[in-house]
């Protein structure tokens, strides 16, 4: 299949950036990133600068790939990361526009690579539980109800890719933060620090310059792990509760 | 936004209940007596001050939110933007501030036309007095009737009610999500109530100028 790619090229954070058009021949069994590999091989053989893009596991579980394909973070398929998007979902002769995730808190590093370290700092602010390390504990030593375990697991499916921020008209990171707060706060090991976690992670999210949630729910629709906005309501509950009852100021 | 919004949602119900007296067939007596009560009762005056405060707070916080969110989105927009979302209120959700600005302009015009005249209007020049046997009251009914025989005003009021319906279509449900009330059992009920409210309440307001126009013009 022959495709026309309109790819965002930007030398560095200060560069204004522009679209460049490329022709690429791919086959329908390739993943989207493999198709970009083909483009890059041809660019390298022509001694041109390849298109920079983030990728790691290519199995849809690491959250590294990040690009907006034809106006949608991770492309047109529901619940699918860019690396798991296959070219069979496109047609011969298609023109595909590829842009980086855009948000003030996600500055472009180069081409399609954006700096998502803001998410790391939000995690450092509270996205953890404080327990002694050591031998793995027996998984059944703390019984947890099925409904609670399922909710926590659904939230834990968040891979922290940032598609929610890219899709949100407000560039809000509420879906990400709410997934982490829900995942940890629903389980007994995480409940101990739940109040402090909600307050600190939301504070850090605001510090990083993400927008505020206005319940558009575009995040939920574009999330490759289909994290529900129910988690945002849970975060709001946790946050409001913590604001009034937390032990610290 | 949520808490002030819920207050204003409650206010609209009371406001509509009062206004529907305009349609009672008594030459405006019940409405004028009610308007006089609303303009002079000390408790109502207190709630009214709170209402103005909440409207302003809703507008100021909403504008702050809009500015923060615009800034967070960054300067460079997407060349192509498509969504997988199928919810009906996303379009309104993204434009709540613009809808809000129209509503704010409407409130200013609406207050100038009726509230200001009722409170500060010069008797004889702006409003006339009527007596129903319990002292003179301002004939606000006559002022409403005069305004709504003017077609441009009728259109303005009806269009603004459509804008309020759009604002509420998102706002009602969103208010509950923001305070964290999301529940498998109650959220569908809230969604239904929100849609019913955002159609019925603006419709209730909109039929008043339409009926006045058809009856008096």
**Cβ contacts of A141 within 8 Å, gap of 6 or more:** none
CB contact under 8 A, B74 and A212: no
Q: Is residue B69 part of a domain?
A: yes
Tens-place pLDDT, residues B139-157: 999 999 999 999 999 999 9
pLDDT for the residue B143: 93
Average pLDDT over chain B, rounded to an integer: 93
Q: Is residue B80 part of a domain?
A: no
Q: Which residue has the tokens 């109502």?
A: B44
Q: Is residue B81 part of a domain?
A: no
- Best of B67, B71, B74 to substitute, by most chain A Cβ atoms within 10 angstroms, is B74
Mean pLDDT of B184-196: 95
Q: Is residue B83 part of a domain?
A: no
Tens-place pLDDT, residues A191-243: 999 999 999 999 999 999 999 999 999 999 999 999 999 999 999 999 999 99
- Please give the share of chain B, as a percent, with pLDDT higher than 70: 100
**Domain range enclosing B196:** 2-74+92-216
Mean pLDDT of A9-21: 96
Tens-place pLDDT, residues B32-46: 999 999 999 999 999
Selection from B165, B151, B133, B166 nearest residue B214 by Cα = B151
Q: Is residue B106 part of a domain?
A: yes
**Residue A3, strand partner residues:** A24
CB contact under 8 A, A216 and B86: no
Q: Using the predicted structure, report yes or no on whether residue A52 has a pLDDT greater than 70.
A: yes
List CB contacts (< 8 A) between B77 and chain A.
102
User: How far is C-alpha A165 from the chain's CA centre?
Assistant: 8
Q: Is residue B87 part of a domain?
A: no
CB contact under 8 A, B76 and A17: yes
Q: What is the 3-state secondary structure (H, E, C) of chain B?
A: CHHHHHHHHHHHHHHHHHHHHHHCCCCCHHHHHHHHHHHHCHHHHHHHHHHHHHHHHHHHHHHHHHHHHHHHHCCCCCCCCCCCCCCCCHHHHHCHHHHHHHHHHHHHHHHHHHHHHHHHCCECCCECEEECCCCEEECHHHHHHHHCCCHHHHHHHHHHHHHHHHHHHHHHHHHHHHCCCCCCCCHHHHHHHHHHHHHHHHHHHHHHHHHHHHHHC
Residues belonging to chain B with any Cβ–Cβ distance to chain A shorter than 8 Å: 1, 65, 68-69, 71-74, 76-87, 90, 93-94, 96, 170, 173-174, 177-182
**Cβ contacts of A175 within 8 Å, gap of 6 or more:** A158, A164, A168, A219, A220, A223, A227, A229, A231, A232
pLDDT band for position B68 (cuts 50, 70, 90): very high
Q: Are B127 and B121 in contact (CB under 8 A)?
A: yes
Domains of chain A: 2-109 (3.10.20.30), 117-245 (1.10.1060.10)
Closest Cβ opposite residue B72 in set A171, A220, A235: A171
Q: Is A61 exposed, middle or buried (0-12, 13-18, 19+ CB in 10 A)?
A: middle
pLDDT for the residue B190: 96
* pTM of the predicted model as reported, rounded to 2 decimal places: 0.93
Quote the CA–CA distance of B56 and B87 in Å, as a whole number: 29
- Best of B1, B5, B63, B76 to substitute, by most chain A Cβ atoms within 10 angstroms, is B76
**ipTM value for the complex:** 0.89
Q: Is residue B79 part of a domain?
A: no
Q: Which residue has the higher pLDDT, A110 or B133?
A: A110
Q: How many residue contacts between A and B have a Cβ separation below 8 Å?
A: 116
- Please give the share of chain A, as a percent, with pLDDT higher than 90: 92
Q: Are A41 and A101 in contact (CB under 8 A)?
A: no
Q: Which residue has the higher pLDDT, A109 or B87?
A: A109
pLDDT for the residue A247: 77
Q: Using the predicted structure, report yes or no on whether residue B27 has a pLDDT greater than 90.
A: no
Closest Cβ opposite residue B74 in set A171, A172, A222: A171
B176, closest residue in chain A (CA to CA): A233
A104, closest residue in chain B (CA to CA): B74
List CB contacts (< 8 A) between A216 and chain B.
85, 90, 93-94
Quote the CA–CA distance of B141 and B143 in Å, as a whole number: 5
pLDDT for the residue B217: 64
List CB contacts (< 8 A) between A104 and chain B.
71-74
Task: Specify the CATH number for the domain of residue B63.
Answer: 1.20.1300.10
Q: How far is B196 from chain A (nearest CA, A)?
A: 19
pLDDT for the residue B119: 87
Tens-place pLDDT, residues A115-168: 999 999 999 999 999 987 788 888 788 899 999 999 999 999 999 999 999 999
A211, closest residue in chain B (CA to CA): B69
Q: How far is A108 from chain B (nearest CA, A)?
A: 10
Q: Is residue B208 part of a domain?
A: yes
Q: How far is A138 from chain B (nearest CA, A)?
A: 33
Mean pLDDT of A54-69: 96
- Please give the share of chain A, as a percent, with pLDDT higher than 70: 100
Mean pLDDT of B171-187: 94
Exposure letters B160-197 (e unless 16+ CB within 10 A, then b): bbebbbbbbbbbbbbbbbbebebeeeebeebeeebbeb
In chain B, the number of structural domains is: 1
List CB contacts (< 8 A) between B90 and chain A.
216-218
Return the H-helix or E-strand segment holding A233. helix A230-245
Average pLDDT over chain A, rounded to an integer: 95
CB contact under 8 A, A172 and B84: no
Mean pLDDT of A55-77: 96
Quote the CA–CA distance of B148 and B157 in Å, as a whole number: 9
pLDDT band for position B121 (cuts 50, 70, 90): confident
Mean pLDDT of B6-22: 96
């Amino acid at each position: 299949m022959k495709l026309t790619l309109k790819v965002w090229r930007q030398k560095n954070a200060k560069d204004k950036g522009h679209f460049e058009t490329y022709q690429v021949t791919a086959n329908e069994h390739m993943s989207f990133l493999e198709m970009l590999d083909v483009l890059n091989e041809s660019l390298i053989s022509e001694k041109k600068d390849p298109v920079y893009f983030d990728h790691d596991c290519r199995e849809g579980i690491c959250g590294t790939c990040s690009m907006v394909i034809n106006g949608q973070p991770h492309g047109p398929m529901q619940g699918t990361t860019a690396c798991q998007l296959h070219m069979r979902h496109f047609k011969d002769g298609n023109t595909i526009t590829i842009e980086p995730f855009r948000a003030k808190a996600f500055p472009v590093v180069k081409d399609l690579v954006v700096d998502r370290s803001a998410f790391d700092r939000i995690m450092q602010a509270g996205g953890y539980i404080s327990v002694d390390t050591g031998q793995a504990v027996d998984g059944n030593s703390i019984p947890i109800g099925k409904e609670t375990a399922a909710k926590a697991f659904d939230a834990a499916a968040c891979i922290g890719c940032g598609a929610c921020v890219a899709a949100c008209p407000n560039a809000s990171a509420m879906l990400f933060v709410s997934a982490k707060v829900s995942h940890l706060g629903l389980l007994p090991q995480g409940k101990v620090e739940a109040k402090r976690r909600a307050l600190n992670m939301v504070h850090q999210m605001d510090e990083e310059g993400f927008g505020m949630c206005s319940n558009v729910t575009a995040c939920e629709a574009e999330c490759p792990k289909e994290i529900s906005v129910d988690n945002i309501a849970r975060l709001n509950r946790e946050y409001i509760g913590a604001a009034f009852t937390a032990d610290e100021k | 936004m949520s808490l002030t919004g819920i207050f204003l949602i409650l206010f609209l119900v009371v406001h509509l209940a009062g206004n529907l007296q305009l349609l009672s067939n008594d030459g405006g007596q019940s409405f004028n007596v009610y308007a006089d009560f609303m303009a002079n009762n000390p408790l109502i005056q207190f709630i009214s001050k709170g209402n103005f405060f909440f409207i302003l707070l809703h507008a100021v916080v909403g504008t702050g939110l809009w500015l923060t969110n615009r800034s967070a989105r960054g300067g460079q927009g997407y060349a192509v933007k498509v969504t997988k979302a199928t919810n009906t209120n996303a379009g309104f959700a993204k434009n709540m501030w613009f809808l809000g600005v129209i509503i704010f302009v409407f409130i200013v015009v609406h207050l100038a036309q009726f509230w200001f005249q009722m409170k500060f209007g010069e008797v004889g020049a702006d409003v006339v007095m009527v007596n129903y046997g319990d002292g003179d009251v301002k004939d606000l009914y006559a002022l409403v009737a005069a305004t709504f025989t003017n077609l441009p005003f009728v259109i303005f009021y009806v269009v603004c009610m459509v804008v309020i319906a759009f604002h509420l279509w998102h706002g009602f449900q969103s208010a509950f999500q923001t305070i964290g009330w999301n529940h498998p059992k109650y959220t569908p009920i809230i969604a239904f109530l929100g849609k019913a409210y955002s159609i019925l309440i603006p419709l209730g307001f909109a039929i008043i100028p339409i009926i006045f126009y058809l009856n008096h013009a």
